[in-house]
Amino acid sequence: MELIAPPGVYRPQNDTWMLAEAVATAGVQDADVLDVGTGTGALAIAA
């Protein structure tokens, strides 16, 4: 997946991908996720 970040939007960093992997492997299902003001929304997409 390719994320497009307009100028001025916080771009995903190494810790973004580390947390996305943790979310994916945590086995959490049917959970609500709130991702506000966090740039590209990469973690919301991963969740």
pLDDT tens per residue across span 27-38: 777 788 888 887
% of the chain at pLDDT higher than 70: 100
Residues of the chain with pLDDT under 50: none
Name the pTM for this structure.
Answer: 0.62
Cα gap 10→29, rounded to integer Å:
27
pLDDT value of residue 18: 92
Q: What is the CA radius of gyration of the chain?
A: 11
